[in-house]
Structure 1
Amino acid sequence: MSNAELAPDLVSRRSLLLGGLAAAGGAAALATTTVAQDMPGHDMSGMPVEPAATSTSPYAAPPAHGGAHGDMMTVGTVDHGANGFDPSTMLTEWETGTLSTMEDGRTLRTFTVEAIDKEIEIAPGVMFPAWTYNGRVPGPALRAKEGERLRIVFSNFGSHPHSMHFHGIHSARMDGVPGAGLINPGEEFVYEFDAKPFGCHLYHCHALPLKRHMHKGMYGAFIIDPDPALHPEFAEVAASRLLGTPENALWQEMVMVMNAFDTNFDNENEFYAVNTIAHAYAKTPIRIVKSRPVRIYLVNVTEFDPINSFHLHANFFDYFDTGTNLAPTLRTVDLIMQCQAQRGILEFSFRDHEAGSYMFHPHQSEFTELGWMGMFDVVEG
C-alpha cells in the first residue's frame, strides 16, 4: 500500500510534521535566551570572541556565522500543573520514603506507590492515556541506602493488573511477575527486600503484554546509594553519592529517564523525551553552576526502538555502567548507548568552560527532532 493510501491516523512518525520543526538535519541549535548568554536564531555574535590567530583559550567562542539552523521544536507550552508534575523539578525530586527502626536495629525504609490511570500532556496539545505510578511519568525516583530493608506498599487503582518489578537483588516472590506480586485492580501488595546492590537501577510493571505496560508509562528510577562504611577503599567516592552527606551536597545531581510515546498505537514512536515532555529542557534549560561537578542518573525505558543514547556537546564525561562500581567503566567519553532497562551514572564538569548554553541529546537524529533534546545553561558561581 502506498503512503497516499494510508489513512490520516496511520501516518508514520517519519512523516509526522510537528509545528515548528524545520528539517535542518542532525542535531538542532536552540534559539532561546538563557541567563548565561543570548543566542537568538543561533546568532552567536553576542558572545565574546577571540580572533583565531590570537586566541589562547580552547574554550573561546567561535566567530559568529549568522544564519539559523532552524528551531526544530514543538510550538506552545505544556500545562505542567494539570499534569501534576514538572520536568524541571522532576530532575531533582527524590522520593526517600519514611524511616523507622526494625527490632534488629536495622533501618526500614517504606515507600507508598499507587497505580493510577491518567491522561497526560506529553507535548503542547498532545494528550496521552497513560498508566502511571503516583500520577506521574516516569514514576517517583525512589532512593535508598545500601543495606537498608525496603518495604514498598503498592496499591492498584488502575483498570488493569499491574506490578512493580525492581532491578535489584530479591527473592522470587518479590519479583513482580505473574504469580509473584502481580495484583489486580483494587488490590494491594507489599514488596519487601534488602537494598542491594548499590547503583542506578529502575523499576517497572511486568504485567503482560509487557511492551504495552512499559510504553504506557509504568516505570521509574530506583537509586541505591553506596554505604561508605562498606567500601573503605572508595569511602570518599561512596560518600559523594550518599544523599544528605556534605560530600554529596557539592554535586549537582539529577535523574533523567529517556522515554518515548506512540500516540497512534502503531508500534512506532511519535515523540521522544527525557522525563516525558518533548523539548522540555530545550525550552527551559537546566541551570548548571560551572564550579560544581554534575552527576546524572540516566535510565533508558524507550519502547519500540532497540537503542537510545546520550551525547554531551563540547564536553566529555566518565560513565559508570549500572552504577554498581565506584570506579568508572568508561573514562572521557561524550556518547553512551543504552538498550531498554540499561542505565548508568554520568559524571562531568564545566569548570574550565566559558559560561553559556551547551546542548545534550541522543545521537539518533530522529529522536532529537521529535522531542529529545535539551540545553545546559552553564553560569558562573
Structure 2
Amino acid sequence: MGSLDRRRFLKRFGIAGALGGAAAVTHAVVPHTHQNGGIALAQDDGHDATKRPEMHGGHMVVGEVDHARNGFSPYEILTDFDGGEVSTDTRGRTVREYEFVAVNKEIEVAPGVFFPAWTYNGRVPGPTIRATEGDRIRIQLVNTTEHPHSIHFHGFHTSGMDGVPGQGEALAGETFTYDFIAAPFGTHLYHCHTLPLVQHIHRGLYGAFIVDPKQGRPEANEMVMVMNGFDTNFDGENEIYAINSIAFAYAVKPIEIERNALQRAHVLNITEFDPINSIHIHANFFDLYRTGTSLEPDEFTDTISMGQAERHMIEFTYPEAGHFMFHAHQTEFVDLGWLSAFEVK
C-alpha cells in the first residue's frame, strides 16, 4: 500500500468516526508500518487476528513508538517546563538564559511512521520556556543546518528581536541571541518565521512560551499540550494529528491525574494545513482563560475551537475516579491520532 491520502482512506473504509463509529474504526484503522512516507494500514480482511494490539476508545494501535530513538517522550514534554539558567542582572532583574540548537532530525510520529523534522534541541515541540512577567529572557539560537532559521516570540519585544528575515534570523552555521523582557503574562507561542513559513513551522520549529503573572496563580497540576499535525507525504494535507507530536500517545498510556486536584493545561494550536483544531474533554467542563492573559476565566465550557497559532489556558477538576477521554472534535483528526485520555485516580 502506498502513501496515505487521508481523505481517500477515510472514504474507502467508510469510517463513521471514533465518537459515533468506534466499531468501524476498530476493524478498519490499524496503523502498523512505514511505507513511502505515509501510514500503511492493516485491514479487517488481511491482518493477523492472533496479534493483540493496544485498544483504546475503539482504536487498535499496532506497535510502539521508540521514544528513546526520538530522544524525547510525549509524557515528559507534558510537564517539562524549562526555567533556563537563572541569574540576576545589574538592574536586579531575573535573567533566564537558554541555548536552542536548530538541527534536522528524523522522528517517529506513529508506530513505524517517520518524519524528517526540523527541530529546536532535537525535539518537537521545542522546549517549553517558562518565566514570570518582567523576567529578562536571553536565548542563543545556534543554527547547525543548511537553512536559515529564527525564533519569533508571540508577545512584546523590540523590532530587532522579532525573529524574522533581516531582524533576528540565524543564517546557516551562524548564531543569534534574543534578548527581551517577558510580557504580557499568558500562554504564548514561539516558532521559526523564516520563509517559506509553512515549511519551517510544519517541519517542527515551534514550542510553548509560558509567562506567569507576578502575583502567581493557585497551585495546580500543570501540563502543556501542543496540538500539531504531520504531512508525511508532503501533499499539503496532514496524515497524522496529535498533541505533543505522537499519535494516540495519551490513549495508549493515559495521563494520570488525581481526583479533586486542580488541573491546568496550556493548550496551543500549531497545526498547519488545517485552519481549525479543537479540544473536548469528556464528562466535565473547564474554565477557559483565553490566551491565558486574565486572572479570571472568560468562559465555562467543554469544547473550544482554535485557529492556527491560537492558544488558551484551561482549568478543571475531576471529582470521580475513572477513565475519561479528551480529543479533537473534528472526528477525522481523532481517527488519525488526536485521541487522548485521563486516568483519574
**What is the TM-score when the length of structure 1 is the normalising length?**
0.79
CA 207–121 in structure 1, closer or farther in 2 if over 3 Å, else same: same
| Per-residue deviation, 1:158 | 1.8
Return the match for 1:83 from 55, 70, 76.
Answer: 70
Structure 2 residue aligned with 1:369: 335
Contact 1:73–1:279 (CA under 8 A) maintained in structure 2: no
Structure 2 residue aligned with 1:343: 311
Structure 2 residue aligned with 1:206: 193
Give the whole-Å Cα distance in 1 for the aligned partners of 2:81 and 2:119: 17
Q: Are 1:102 and 2:94 an aligned pair? A: no
Structure 2 counterpart SS, 1:324:
coil
Structure 2 residue aligned with 1:275: 244
Structure 2 counterpart SS, 1:16:
helix
- Show CA shifts across 1:206-251 (max 9, x none): 00010011110010000001101xxxxxxxxx342xxxxxxx3xx1
Q: Are 1:310 and 2:279 an aligned pair? A: yes
Return the match for 2:257 from 278, 285, 288.
Answer: 288
| Per-residue deviation, 1:23 | 3.0
Q: Which runs of 5+ in 1 are unaligned?
A: 1-6, 32-40, 42-67, 229-237, 241-247
Structure 2 residue aligned with 1:150: 137
| Per-residue deviation, 1:12 | 2.0
Structure 1 residue aligned with 2:36: none
Give the whole-Å Cα distance in 2 for the aligned partners of 1:350 and 1:190: 43
Give the whole-Å Cα distance in 2 for the aligned partners of 1:183 and 1:313: 44
Give the whole-Å Cα distance in 2 for the aligned partners of 1:219 and 1:156: 15
Return the match for 1:23 from 8, 12, 15.
Answer: 15
Structure 1 residue aligned with 2:324: 358
| Per-residue deviation, 1:159 | 2.3
1:110-121 alignment to 2 at 5 Å?
Answer: 110-121=97-108
Structure 1 residue aligned with 2:5: 12
Structure 2 residue aligned with 1:163: 150
Q: Are 1:226 and 2:213 an aligned pair? A: yes
| Per-residue deviation, 1:70 | 7.0
Q: Larger deviation: 70-79 or 342-351?
A: 70-79
Figure out how many residues of one structure are paired with residues of the other and give that number.
313
Contact 1:115–1:162 (CA under 8 A) maintained in structure 2: yes
Structure 2 residue aligned with 1:64: none
CA 29–153 in structure 1, closer or farther in 2 if over 3 Å, else same: farther
Q: Are 1:175 and 2:143 an aligned pair? A: no
Contact 2:18–2:57 (CA under 8 A) maintained in structure 1: no
Contact 2:152–2:192 (CA under 8 A) maintained in structure 1: yes
- Show CA shifts across 1:11-60 (max 9, x none): 5211337xxx99352427999xxxxxxxxx9xxxxxxxxxxxxxxxxxxx
Q: If each structure's strand is expressed as a fraction of its own residues, which one has the higher value?
A: 2
CA 173–99 in structure 1, closer or farther in 2 if over 3 Å, else same: same
Give the whole-Å Cα distance in 2 for the aligned partners of 1:72 and 1:12: 19
| Per-residue deviation, 1:106 | 1.3
CA 150–30 in structure 1, closer or farther in 2 if over 3 Å, else same: farther
- How many percent identity over aligned positions? 55
- Show CA shifts across 1:151-190 (max 9, x none): 1111111221100000010000100001101111110000
Of structures 1 and 2, the larger Rg is shown by: 1
Give the whole-Å Cα distance in 2 for the aligned partners of 1:341 and 1:72: 29
Give the whole-Å Cα distance in 2 for the aligned partners of 1:141 and 1:150: 13
Q: Which runs of 5+ in 2 are unaligned?
A: 28-54
Give the whole-Å Cα distance in 2 for the aligned partners of 1:254 and 1:214: 22
- Show CA shifts across 1:270-315 (max 9, x none): 0000000000000000001002111000000000000000001100
**What is the TM-score when the length of structure 2 is the normalising length?**
0.87
| Per-residue deviation, 1:108 | 1.0
Contact 1:28–1:70 (CA under 8 A) maintained in structure 2: no
